[in-house]
Amino acid sequence: MVSAWRGDTAMKEKKVGKQTYLFNQPLPILSTAGVVGKKEGEGPLGTYFDEVINDPLYGEKSWEMGESKMVQRAIDLALTKANTTYGNLDFMFGGDLLNQIIAASFAARHVPIPFFGLFGACSTFSEALALAGIALDGDFASQVLVTASSHYQTAERQFRYPTELGVQRKPTAHWTVTGAAAVIIGKGTSGVVLTGITVGQVIDMGIKDVNDMGSAMAPAAIDTIRQHFEDTGRGPEYYDVIITGDLGSFGKSLTANILAEAGYDIDKNYTDCGVLIFNPEQDTHVGGSGCACSAVVFANYFYPQLVQGVYRRILLVSTGALLSPTSYQQGESIPAIAHAVVIETL
Amino acid sequence: MVSAWRGDTAMKEKKVGKQTYLFNQPLPILSTAGVVGKKEGEGPLGTYFDEVINDPLYGEKSWEMGESKMVQRAIDLALTKANTTYGNLDFMFGGDLLNQIIAASFAARHVPIPFFGLFGACSTFSEALALAGIALDGDFASQVLVTASSHYQTAERQFRYPTELGVQRKPTAHWTVTGAAAVIIGKGTSGVVLTGITVGQVIDMGIKDVNDMGSAMAPAAIDTIRQHFEDTGRGPEYYDVIITGDLGSFGKSLTANILAEAGYDIDKNYTDCGVLIFNPEQDTHVGGSGCACSAVVFANYFYPQLVQGVYRRILLVSTGALLSPTSYQQGESIPAIAHAVVIETL
């Protein structure tokens, strides 16, 4: 098995196996912040979030600009918590689900630092963490900002139907999480630290049902988790929790079952942010989804527990479905991707 | 002035000034490949491109899948030219203009390596080169693949009007370039080498006219170029050519004039890929645009001239307008961004 923490050796090589990289430097997460919508505030994690914003417009003229303002709010909170300023930050890595990632780009107008716009659908949060780690560990940055957001109303009208239509939802459908998270990562010697990443490939198993994203994304999660274990020689027991982004209850079962068949029994310490964020009584079917799902659950639920020592090692695997309304209306299947990030307490 | 090539010193610090980074290792561009549509093939650079694809569908059922196939074709050509295989590549950095970057993501289904999806609008090519440089110089990769694409028909129907409507175009309008480019970058000691980057901030000067992207993007180009000079102590004379992505004739004049006022006279060695790729007789108004514009012009026009020694140092500044149809229909202004990449012959 590869050593838990590469930093204690003086190896230059960061690549381990086929898709995994272990950082040479401790990259502490300096702060995390999350804001969510009303429904998320009413869910089982409601009391954990920094702020619950009951107005989906957040005082703006459109839901899209409301989402963008949530990103700004999360950034402000993260800056304050980390006791840092834009002057200390080298890059912002951000993205969201909207066409042309306008929630992130429009928020970045107010962020006077270099910006890398990303699109990984609901995997964007771990994609951004991975690139942040690469930039920090490669000595291109001393502090970086990561953001991700999504919004039920903006996503529904963009990907599905106007919410006013009241279209009936399939039992396998997700509910897009309204919210935004911001994370500031730096350099140091201890704390809750990014220690490695497994960067995902695009996986397309031919699934075409846009009302069953869990089945579309599960193969990508399975591929990345399996590859992470293979690359590192670790097994599920290495982690206190393995957390997928937004597979939902159905995609989560699929993932656990297929990984068990591959010899990795993750059931005992496996959960999914989409399953955690809503109660079954909230009529969200298989659970939450969207870039914000894994971002706010990590920022406000898992990160504090890492700080408190409840968990010492987690594997966060945000999952994304890389479709567009154009692609599915053209009858195309749904490519998916999952990136894994290792976060440990040093 | 900062030394031309940071590699000859043994400094760990890569950041120079506020937004510029000089690499510690020579990162040679191993190959470049470009494919374009019929109109680009009929333009002044027509004979330079690797392949001209006369059918905008490229044999597929939709323009979008045609664009994605162009990405695949460019990748195949780049792999062959670099005499390498997927087994040697660590990452793909790719993006395009389409909603949910489906041209890149769908092409990535056929690329069995880790994928980072990016969105920087027409700045995507230099954004991808910048991140590729960071990953390579940080020892996270030994070879990486960069792609960018755009397509007149897919962009028109997504951002403007169905082409069948025959809507009259404003004199300040651009013509989206149809094409795709792929670049493979590695490590080595000589050749045509990435030596530095200046990563752009989002700049929004309040411009709202979606038929005048040159004016919207010029402030971002000006900001990044000026910052590059300030960070490095270099002046325009350091470069054989300074190349913006797709400002077009109007945005190009704006950029040159405002930089001259700031004390940087770039007029003598400044050009724009959007101006180069079409003839005024081709009815493309201010010129070409789209992620493919700077990507194919770099891949098939500038890179070969760097290899041949016609040029020894260029500054490539791809420019992006980060709007969406939703944002402009909501009356929002157009945020823009520009990333600069230094490419030199060692």
In a domain, A186, yes or no: no
User: Of B62, B337, B86, nearest to B200 (Cα)?
Assistant: B337
Quick check: B6 pLDDT over 50? no
Residues B201 and B337 occupy one common structural domain: yes
Find residues 271-310 of chain B whose CB sits inside 8 Å of chain A.
none
| Secondary structure letter of residue A177 according to DSSP | P
Are residues B119 and A101, on separate chains, in Cβ contact within 8 Å?
yes
Of A109, A140, A200, the CB nearest to B114: A200
Give yes or no for a contact between B45 and B297, defined as CB atoms under 8 angstroms apart.
yes
Are residues B135 and A140, on separate chains, in Cβ contact within 8 Å?
no
Q: Indicate the residue type of A139.
A: D
Tokens of B179: 């094409």
Give yes or no for a contact between B195 and B141, defined as CB atoms under 8 angstroms apart.
no
Q: Bridge partners of A344? A: A193, A313
Chain A residue at shortest CA distance from B329: A62
Residues B114 and B236 occupy one common structural domain: no
Residue that is last in its domain, among A146, A165, A184 = A165
Residues B268 and B217 occupy one common structural domain: yes
Chain B residues near residue A15 by CB distance under 8 angstroms: 90, 140-141
Q: What integer is the mean pLDDT of B123-151? A: 98
Chain B residue at shortest CA distance from A197: B140
Find residues 94-153 of chain A whose CB sits inside 8 Å of chain B.
95, 98-102, 105-106, 108-109, 111-121, 127, 130-131, 134-135, 137-141
d(CA A22, CA A7): 8
Chain A residues near residue B65 by CB distance under 8 angstroms: 330, 332
Tokens of B34: 């470009």
| Secondary structure letter of residue A163 according to DSSP | G
In a domain, A1, yes or no: no
Of B15, B111, B139, the CB nearest to A12: B139
Task: Using a CB–CB cutoff of 8 Å, tell me whether A64 touches chain B.
Answer: yes
> Residue A6's pLDDT is what?
45
**Residues whose CB falls within 8 Å of the CB of residue A282, separated by 6 or more in sequence, listed in order:** A39, A42, A43, A175
Task: Using a CB–CB cutoff of 8 Å, tell me whether A57 touches chain B.
Answer: no
Chain A residues near residue B119 by CB distance under 8 angstroms: 95, 100-101, 117-119
User: Of A296, A194, A179, nearest to A245 (Cα)?
Assistant: A296
Are residues A140 and B139, on separate chains, in Cβ contact within 8 Å?
no
**What's the CATH code of the domain at A196?**
3.40.47.40
Give yes or no for a contact between B183 and B161, defined as CB atoms under 8 angstroms apart.
no
> Residue B1's pLDDT is what?
53
In a domain, B187, yes or no: no
Of A12, A106, A201, the CB nearest to B115: A201
Per-residue pLDDT reduced to its tens digit, B223-246: 999 999 999 999 999 999 999 999
Handedness of CA B288, B289, B291, B297 (dihedral sign): positive
> Residue A162's pLDDT is what?
86
User: Of B300, B346, B334, B260, nearest to B45 (Cα)?
Assistant: B300
Residues B137 and B214 occupy one common structural domain: no
d(CA A81, CA A61): 29
Share of chain B above pLDDT 90, in %: 92
Residues B152 and B201 occupy one common structural domain: no
Residue that is last in its domain, among B147, B165, B183 = B165
Bigger pLDDT: A32 or B163?
Answer: A32
Tokens of B225: 């170029």
d(CA B344, CA B191): 8
Give B204→chain A minimum CA distance, Å: 7
Quick check: B326 pLDDT over 90? yes
User: Of A196, A108, A282, A73, nearest to B199 (Cα)?
Assistant: A108
Q: Is B147 helix (H, G, I), strand (E, B) or coil?
A: strand
Calculate the dihedral angle through the C-alpha atoms of B45, B46, B48, B51, rounding to the nearest 10 degrees.
Answer: 140
Residues A132 and A54 occupy one common structural domain: yes
Q: How confident is the model at residue B5 (pLDDT cuts 50, 70, 90)?
A: very low
Q: How confident is the model at residue B161 (pLDDT cuts 50, 70, 90)?
A: confident
Per-residue pLDDT reduced to its tens digit, B164-207: 888 888 889 999 999 999 999 999 999 999 999 999 999 999 99
Of B15, B91, B202, the CB nearest to A115: B202
Buried b (16+ CB within 10 A) or exposed e, B146-164: bbbbbbbbbbbbbbbeeee
Find residues 178-207 of chain B whose CB sits inside 8 Å of chain A.
199-204
List the Cα angle A228/B139/A221 in 5-degree steps.
20
**Residues whose CB falls within 8 Å of the CB of residue B330, separated by 6 or more in sequence, listed in order:** A61, A62, A64, A65
Give yes or no for a contact between A29 and A185, defined as CB atoms under 8 angstroms apart.
yes
Residues B102 and B202 occupy one common structural domain: no
Q: B13, B96, B213, B326: which to substitute to probe chain A, counting the most A Cβ within 10 Å?
A: B326
Helix (H) or strand (E) holding A156: helix A152-159
**Residues whose CB falls within 8 Å of the CB of residue B253, separated by 6 or more in sequence, listed in order:** none
Per-residue pLDDT reduced to its tens digit, B15-35: 999 999 999 999 999 999 999
Of B114, B139, B202, the CB nearest to A105: B202
Burial label, B17 (beta-carbon count in 10 A; 0-12, 13-18, 19+): middle
Chain B residues near residue A337 by CB distance under 8 angstroms: 105, 115, 117
Give yes or no for a contact between A133 and A91, defined as CB atoms under 8 angstroms apart.
no
Chain B residues near residue A128 by CB distance under 8 angstroms: none
Residues A236 and A112 occupy one common structural domain: no
Of B64, B141, B204, the CB nearest to A330: B64
**pLDDT digit string (tens) for chain A, length 346 residues:** 554 444 444 445 799 999 999 999 999 999 999 999 999 999 999 999 999 999 999 999 999 999 999 999 999 999 999 999 999 999 999 999 999 999 999 999 999 999 999 999 999 999 999 999 999 999 999 999 999 999 999 999 999 888 888 888 888 999 999 999 999 999 999 999 999 999 999 999 999 999 999 999 999 999 999 999 999 999 999 999 999 999 999 999 999 999 999 999 999 999 999 999 999 999 999 999 999 999 999 999 999 999 999 999 999 999 999 999 999 999 999 999 999 999 999 9
Residues B299 and B160 occupy one common structural domain: no
Q: B22, B88, B127, B140: which to substitute to probe chain A, counting the most A Cβ within 10 Å?
A: B140
Chain A residue at shortest CA distance from B203: A109
- Beta strands in A38-101, from DSSP E residues, in sequence order: 51-53, 91-96
Chain B residue at shortest CA distance from A65: B327
List the Cα angle B341/A72/A340 in 5-degree steps.
65
In a domain, B63, yes or no: yes
In a domain, B36, yes or no: yes
Residues B200 and B325 occupy one common structural domain: yes
**Residues whose CB falls within 8 Å of the CB of residue A257, separated by 6 or more in sequence, listed in order:** none
In a domain, A304, yes or no: yes
Task: Using a CB–CB cutoff of 8 Å, tell me whether A208 touches chain B.
Answer: no
> Residue A1's pLDDT is what?
52
> Residue A164's pLDDT is what?
87
In a domain, B315, yes or no: yes
The total domain count for chain B is 2
Beta-carbon pairs below 8 A across chains A and B: 182
Quick check: B13 pLDDT over 90? no
> Residue B2's pLDDT is what?
52
Quick check: B3 pLDDT over 70? no
d(CA A158, CA A177): 14
- Phi, psi angle pair for A103, to nearest 5°: -60, -45
Per-residue pLDDT reduced to its tens digit, A108-163: 999 999 999 999 999 999 999 999 999 999 999 999 999 999 999 999 999 988 88
Q: Is A20 helix (H, G, I), strand (E, B) or coil?
A: strand
In a domain, A94, yes or no: yes
Calculate the dihedral angle through the C-alpha atoms of A152, A155, A156, A162, rounding to the nearest 10 degrees.
Answer: 110
Residues B143 and B204 occupy one common structural domain: no
- Phi, psi angle pair for B103, to nearest 5°: -65, -45
Of B109, B138, B330, the CB nearest to A204: B109
Q: Is B237 helix (H, G, I), strand (E, B) or coil?
A: helix
Q: In terms of residue numbers, what domain contains A38?
A: 26-165
Give A322→chain B minimum CA distance, Å: 6
Helix (H) or strand (E) holding A145: strand A144-150
Burial label, A49 (beta-carbon count in 10 A; 0-12, 13-18, 19+): buried
> Residue A2's pLDDT is what?
52
> Residue B286's pLDDT is what?
94
Residues A70 and A160 occupy one common structural domain: yes
Are residues A118 and B116, on separate chains, in Cβ contact within 8 Å?
yes
DSSP, residue by residue, A244-275? ESS-HHHHHHHHHHHHHHTT---GGGEEEHHH
